[in-house]
């Protein structure tokens, strides 16, 4: 199952910068591992924003939920999820 996920990171003024840097490093490692596993298929930065658009390929809504709530920066994110299905005009066999 494919999902488009938009993540907007909101950094509160109250967060300790060193703690936030550590969380960012953990987030990077987690994002890289999930990309290598094939679950996090695409990751794009929104130009000029602390936000991304990602494509996840997971077995279920529940799996997506668990992946997202497990992200180190989850407490600082606003997340929007759009379920995707194959477009009849797509030429990509793996769009499912
Ligand atoms: O930077 C972001 O967009 C937030 C998050 C998503 C992947 C990652 O490494 O950090």
CATH code at 38? 3.30.70.1060
- Residue 73 Cβ inside 6 Å of ligand 1? The answer reads yes
Does a structural domain hold residue 28? yes
Does a structural domain hold residue 73? yes
Q: Which of 11, 21, 27 to mutate to test the pocket of ligand 1 (most atoms within 8 A of CB)?
A: 27
- Cβ contact 6:51 at 8 Å: yes
Does a structural domain hold residue 39? yes
Q: Is the ipTM of this complex over 0.85?
A: yes
Summarize pLDDT for 37-64 with one digit per residue, the tens.
999 999 999 999 999 999 999 999 999 9
3 state DSSP class of 96: coil
39: containing domain: 2-83
Output the CA 49–ligand 1 centroid distance in Å.
11
Tokens 């994110």 found at: 77
Does a structural domain hold residue 51? yes
Give the chain's radius of gyration (CA, Å): 14
Find how far residue 80's CA is from the centre of its chain: 10
Residue 31's pLDDT is what? Answer: 98
How many domains does the structure of the chain reveal? 1
Distance (Å, whole) CA 43 – CA 39:
11
pTM: 0.93
Atom of ligand 1 nearest to the CA of 45: 3
């Amino acid at each position: 199952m494919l999902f488009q996920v938009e993540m907007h990171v909101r950094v509160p003024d109250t967060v300790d910068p060193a703690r936030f840097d550590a969380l960012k490093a953990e987030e990077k490692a987690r994002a890289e591992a999930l990309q290598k596993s094939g679950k996090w298929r695409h990751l794009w930065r929104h130009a000029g924003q602390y936000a991304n658009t990602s494509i996840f390929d997971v077995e279920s809504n529940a799996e997506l939920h668990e992946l997202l709530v497990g992200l180190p920066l989850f407490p600082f994110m606003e997340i929007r999820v759009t379920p995707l299905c194959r477009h009849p005009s797509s030429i990509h066999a793996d769009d499912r």
